[in-house]
A and B are shown apart, each in its own frame.
Chain A
Amino acid sequence: MWVIAVLALHHDIWFWKSRHTVFGFLPIGLAYHAAYSVLAVITMALLVKFLWPSHLEVPEDEYAPQEQE
């Protein structure tokens, strides 16, 4: 659900026509998506922490690298 909410937040119709700036120079539409990128980082960090597919790890004894011929 969190991921779906994040994906939905990408479509920020509320800032579509706004020309306001943040920090005195950054257009709010750009600032929003910069913040969205940070939200993406947080989302991925949460996924890694709580939903990491550790069952996919391959133990060394199950993997046999090719030998040189």
Chain B
Amino acid sequence: MIPVIVILLYLCVVAYIGSVAFRKGKENTEDFFLAGRTIGTAVFFLSLFATNMTAFAILGSSGAAYKQGIGIFGMMASSSGIVIPLTIFFIGTRIWSLGKRFGHMTQVQFFRDRWECSGVGTFLFFLSAAMLIPYMIISIIGGGQVLQDISRSSAESAPIIPYWLGCLIVTIVVTVNVFFGGMRGVVWVNVFQTVLFLLFGTVAFITIGQGLPGGLSDFVHNMAKDPVNGALLSRERMPAEVFWSYMFIPLSSIMFPHMSIMCLSAKKMSAFKQTVVVYPIAIMLIWLPCVFLGALGAQAVPGLKETDGVLLHLLSQYAPAWLAGLLGAGIISAVMGSDCHQVLALSTMFTKDIFSYYGGLEKYGEKGMVYFARAFVLIVTAIAYLIALARPTSIFELAIRFAFSGFAALSPIMIAALFWKRSTKYGALASGIWVLACVLGTWYLTSYSDSFAPKPPTPPAKSVALAEGKPSRTEGTPSTNPTEGKQVAQLNTGAERQLTASPVGDPAGKKSPIADAPKKGGKPGAKAGKAGGKAGAKPKGVPSVPIFPQLGNMFLRSPTQVTVYGFLPVVPMVIGSLILMILVSLLTPPPSKETVDKYFPQG
């Protein structure tokens, strides 16, 4: 009951902040969509960070570490910790500058003006919107599921907040926050959310670390000697190609519409300075404790089926109830922080790139645009809620997974637009079509290979007991709730859905843990170990199988995903997009001299 109270209090605060922001707002689109480009340094950092974080940072990261070990931190977090700040530094600052000079509020507005195009911009709009919409809907599904699962007093009891009501609460709070507050309301809430986020990891680590049998140090040393779980303190179970591939995923961050729109809201460019410097540490503060605890959880609570619940298991054994409440609020913060931005970004895109661009502004004026934007928020969240009730989770999970690769592969378009005078709209179109084809192709290959995908190993018998609510107890830490195991497992399913959408990484690899590993000599994926040097050789796990045996190892299928010669699809997608952007641009006429001079002034 305590977690429910904490979360409901949190939701009230969020809605209140949105209503306060409404009273500060003006009736024009720049104010509604970008808070009048007045966001100061501290708020800008905290909000940008919240935009980019999802619940995966807490639950998904620990769940992945439970299966694959501490390498998850390097693969997903420290890679994001360098790549995302670099993209903000080199790309975000330029987006901000051009937006402020020329009044852009979306990426497509910039592309249309930069390349003197209309249809190509509209194509890129639909491509971006198609990849963003599932992300927004699955946030509501995840939020509803989390509220349902955390509101059970025991595994068998009915939830205080049923799924439909959970989704409704999340939808209403998001709608109120965005409808009334616009960007201002969203960023103010983000401040609150990010503080919660940053607090959670450290507090959980200290609390749980002190409670582990024998203390943290002895526990780790004993685990290192364990023949099975000891591997989780290294990267023995991690294929080097996948680890390497993940460096491409954070390129998606700046291409997510809500991230680039957020970059436009800063008052001064100096706001980016502190943001890019502090960003890697902020990621570490959240991810490192969660990943470490997740790996230790394999020893402390072995055999979990729903591994994303490992932190909840550890909390239930080693921490007081209020910390579980803080965790619940942290998860909901993650769900809503990014969801608010996604809803607002979609509203901004539809209003500016479609409605306004195709005549709405002339007909209804600036104030009419704001009315349209608010109406759009109401409609899109209502539709999202109705879709969420049907729980089409698997389709959207897949869509989100591909969206990260898709947005990463769109990054060459933005880089070319900002840095290369000779780039053309046809180059952008070719890259966009390539991305679309790759996303659909990967989707097809995944669906086609589902029937013969290798199965992950069956958890030991102990795990069944755990999943059914009989967690094994460490001596001296008696359970007060014998059914919590199942409760946690249920919570995971909800959280997991949200988690897939981590901007810091997941999409492709979230469920890949053991999966992508292995490859035996001569068999598909045999090179996986070699790429990691002698240290990374022969990760243990389930071997991938070739999807088309006649093509050899070109397309491999692991239990959870498709790879290309062992690498994630994002690698060929980004490289192909870059090559097409260059080649097609060189073969097609450049924009007019006036436009080039406008974006690349001499001196």
Contact = CB atoms under 8 A, between A and B. Distances in A.
B116 interface: no
Nearest to A20: B224
Contacts of A19: 224, 230, 233-234
A2 to B, nearest CB: 12
Interface stretch (B187-195, B235-243, B504-512): B235-243
Given A7-B247, A21-B221, A65-B36, A40 B82 contact: yes
Contacts of A43: 82
A66 B29 contact: yes
B277 A58 contact: no
B260 to A, nearest CB: 15
Contacts of B562: none
A17 B536 contact: yes
For chain A, give the interface size range: 35 or more
A29 B71 CA distance: 7
B549 interface: no
Contacts of B70: 27, 29-30
Contacts of B221: 21
A52 to B, nearest CB: 7
A13 B531 CA distance: 9
Interface stretch (B52-60, B281-289, B439-447): B281-289
Contacts of B536: 13, 16-17
A13 B216 contact: no
B77 interface: yes
A41 B277 CA distance: 5
Nearest to B230: A19
B349 interface: no
A66 to B, nearest CB: 4
Interface of A: 3, 6-7, 10-19, 21, 24-27, 29-30, 32-34, 36-38, 40-41, 43-45, 47-48, 52-53, 56-58, 62-63, 65-69
24 contacts: A10-B74, A13-B534, A14-B533, A16-B235, A16-B535, A17-B535, A19-B224, A21-B221, A25-B220, A29-B235, A33-B74, A37-B81, A37-B281, A37-B284, A38-B281, A40-B82, A41-B278, A48-B277, A57-B97, A58-B100, A58-B269, A66-B29, A68-B28, A68-B31
